[in-house]
A and B are shown apart, each in its own frame.
Chain A
Amino acid sequence: MADLRARTAPYRAVLASRVRAQRSYRANFLLDLTSSLLVGLVELAEVWVVFRSVHSLGGLDLAAVVLVFGVADLAFSLADLGFGHCDTLPTYLRAGTLDVFYLRPQPLLLQLVTSDISLRRLARAAVGIAALVAGLALNDVPWGARAVGLLALALVSGVATFAAMFVWAGGAQFFLVDGAEATNAFVYGGRYSATQPASVWTRPLVVVFGFVFPMAFTAYLPVVTLLGLPGPAWMPAWLGWCAPLAALWAWALALVTWRAGVRHYQGGGG
């Protein structure tokens, strides 16, 4: 335990300073919180607007979609809170901050991840929680150990999967010039598709966000399994339990990309 404390001390010192710094610019922080909250609300409102004209989307009704939105959005905002700054790597590359990381006795990726924390995402997470609670209340959830377990599994895996997306995007920046635009399509596109029923996706979307970046596993599939809804033909309903596997796959993809990126940066082949 003492060893763990000593090992994490460098990261905790940086993170604590980031938290203090964000809180010390109070007006700025409140503005950030508010804008973050508004964005979250607008995206939730979008779901509601869609359901003004249809009663069901891809086999899910409004209540189920709100639940999908809640799970996905909560997981995404928590991942964004801790990992969202990973795709700002080009800024670090240009400012030479990455070279500074090399001069410190910690792993690069851990330094990058713990170099910042975006507390304003808490507002966004609040929207996610609200949607999640509403979704759970509106739906006929078969409560029990199974439901709680599935939900917890989905949330933890979802956070991990989205976090992996940010790390993947960070690794990809080494290869791309001003690559944030390109990776945003997958990171934020992924987030958006995660809040939608995967059953309405077109085939390319299924390939990209169903399997390569396993977005369907972050919310849609667990919710389908939870509510006992008929899943789409190409995805059996029990796939909802496989969210941790999807998270593992996403992390494997992220770490391989990151590693390749670092090797590319250092020029050690690869």
Chain B
Amino acid sequence: MSTPRTIVETEGLGRDFKVRDGVRRRTVVAVVDLSLRITAGESVGYIGANGAGKSTTIKMLTGILVPTRGTVSTCGLRPVPDRKRLAREVGVVFGQRTQLWWDLPVRESLRILAAIHSLGSVAERERTDELVERLELADFLATPVRQLSLGQRMRAEVAAALLHSPRLVILDEPTIGLDVLSKQRLREFLVAERRLHGTTLLLTTHDMGDVERLCDRILLVDRGSLVFDGTLAGLSRTVGAERVLVVDLAEPTADLAGVPDARHLGSEGGGLRQRLAFDPEVTTAARVLGALAGRAEVVDLAVEEPDVEDVVRRVYAARR
């Protein structure tokens, strides 16, 4: 391995929108000043609340929108002027819009896309077979897209976006609305795709399972600015993400306040179930549990991992 290659680089990237507000026009700043660098082969979660500027950034990376300021380079190309060349290097999966032809069978859509990307017949066959097998499309290849279930359709969408073997795959809310099993399958596929082909993944998501299972790096945006760049564990540490110990007690008990290094969050069922927050950097679940020993009989327990949505909320709260 030589020096890692940069696949996405932005410097002071920003985008404003002029919106009409009655008769007045005002400027909405969607992306303020974004500088980031993604290396080939990375898997990056791009997260933030709705309206934080995620979609706008993706559109600037892929040449759909012209930046208002700053520079952007994707796969070594300038997205807007080099859009057609860039299209051969990038695959985009939109969770909520389709690139398939609704009235055509999946197989037919893939054939057309192969023609659109000028794949040779050998490359087309090999890649189609690979995707059909790994995404388990065989059962519904002959089914018109409009008759597919959401899970099936998303798998077909992913196959469509990855048919031309792009180096960079951008996924905008890829698992939205999917059931647990479909999400799992899709994540496994993406992990394998990355391992097999060294594909770079950049995904926006509200689903924290996606971040936890797919991304080794997180970019968190708030109001158009990057506010965190690092790992999920690092993010949790930054905001002091607490874990929550949930205990079910043998009998109704008064609130378990005053446990060392733990904070009582709440009680249910008249004190039958209680929730205690603790910081894993300071103490452990076992020590908190030990401290309860003399005060109540614990029948069952669970430790809740920090929910990233919650982490995001906390980062936002800390900044305001």
Contact = CB atoms under 8 A, between A and B. Distances in A.
A105 B87 contact: yes
Contacts of B92: 103
A268 B104 contact: no
A176 B293 CA distance: 70
Interface in B9-31: 15, 17
Interface in A235-270: 263, 266-269
Interface stretch (A59-67, A93-101, A123-131, A146-154): A93-101
B146 to A, nearest CB: 11
A52 interface: no
Given A99-B97, A267-B65, A106 B104 contact: no
B115 A99 contact: no
Contacts of B112: 10, 13-14, 17
B90 interface: yes
B116 A267 contact: no
Contacts of A13: 111-112, 115-116
Nearest to B88: A105
A105 B89 CA distance: 10
Given A96-B94, A267-B15, A104 B116 contact: yes
Given A99-B97, A104-B87, A105-B117, A266 B104 contact: no
Given A103-B99, A266-B66, A17 B116 contact: no
Interface stretch (B78-86, B135-143, B205-213, B266-274): B78-86
A201 interface: no
B303 interface: no
Nearest to A269: B66
Contacts of B88: 105
A267 B118 contact: no
Interface string B25-68: 00000000000000000000000000000000001001111101
Q: Most chain-A Cβ atoms within 10 A of its Cβ — which of B59, B91, B108, B115?
A: B115
Contact of A268 (B80, B94, B99, B118): B80
